[in-house]
Amino acid sequence: MSSPNAESTAFRSALEVIRAVEPRVADAIGAELADQRESLKLIASENYASPATLLAMGNWFSDKYAEGTVGRRFYAGCQNVDTVEALAAEHAKELFGAAHAYVQPHSGIDANLVAFWAVLADRVEAPALKKAQARHVNDLTEEDWFTLRRELGNQRMLGMSLDAGGHLTHGFRPNISGKMFDQRSYGTDPVTGLVDYDKVAEAAREFKPMILVAGYSAYPRKVNFRIMREIADSVGATFMVDMAHFAGLVAGKVFTGDFDPVPHAHIVTTTTHKSLRGPRGGMVLCGPELADQVDRGCPMVLGGPLPHVMAAKAVALAEARRPDFADYAQRIVDNAQALAEGLLRRGAKLVTDGTDNHLVLIDVSGYGLTGRQAEQALLDSGIVTNRNSVPQDPNGAWYTSGIRIGTPALTTRGLGVAEMDATAELIHTVLNQTVSGSNADGTPSKAKYVLEPALADKVSHQAAELLSAFPLYPSVTLS
Q: Please say if 197 is a catalytic residue.
A: no
Q: Please say if 271 is a catalytic residue.
A: yes
Q: Please say if 367 is a catalytic residue.
A: no
Please identify which of the residues 242, 319, 341, 393 carries the catalytic annotation. Answer: 242
User: Residue 212 carries which side chain, given as an amino acid letter?
Assistant: L
307, 364 contact by CB (below 8 A)? no
Partners of 285 in beta bridges: 101, 268
Please identify which of the residues 274, 296, 387, 404 carries the catalytic annotation. Answer: 274
187, 163 contact by CB (below 8 A)? yes
Q: How far apart are CA 283 and CA 269, in angstroms?
A: 6
Q: How far apart are CA 459 and CA 187, in angstroms?
A: 36
Q: Please say if 65 is a catalytic residue.
A: yes
User: Residue 426 carries which side chain, given as an amino acid letter?
Assistant: L
152, 124 contact by CB (below 8 A)? yes
Strands 402-406 and 72-73: unpaired
3-class DSSP state of 201: helix
Please identify which of the residues 19, 46, 64, 67 carries the catalytic annotation. Answer: 67
Q: Please say if 208 is a catalytic residue.
A: no
Q: How far apart are CA 387 and CA 400, in angstroms?
A: 6
3-class DSSP state of 165: coil
123, 107 contact by CB (below 8 A)? no
Please identify which of the residues 65, 184, 429, 448 carries the catalytic annotation. Answer: 65
Please identify which of the residues 271, 400, 411, 412 carries the catalytic annotation. Answer: 271
Task: Count Cα atoms within 13 angstroms, Cβ side, for 378.
Answer: 31
Q: How far apart are CA 114 and CA 118, in angstroms?
A: 6
DSSP codes of every residue in 47-95: ----HHHHHHTSSGGGG----EETTEESSS--HHHHHHHHHHHHHHHHH
Instruction: List the beta strands (DSSP E) in 344-398.
Output: 359-363, 383-384, 386-388
Cα dihedral value 337, 263, 281, 215, nearest 10: -50
Measured N-to-C along each axis, helices 453-468 and 23-38 cross at an angle, to the nearest 10 degrees, of 90
Catalytic machinery residues: 65, 67, 242, 271, 274, 280
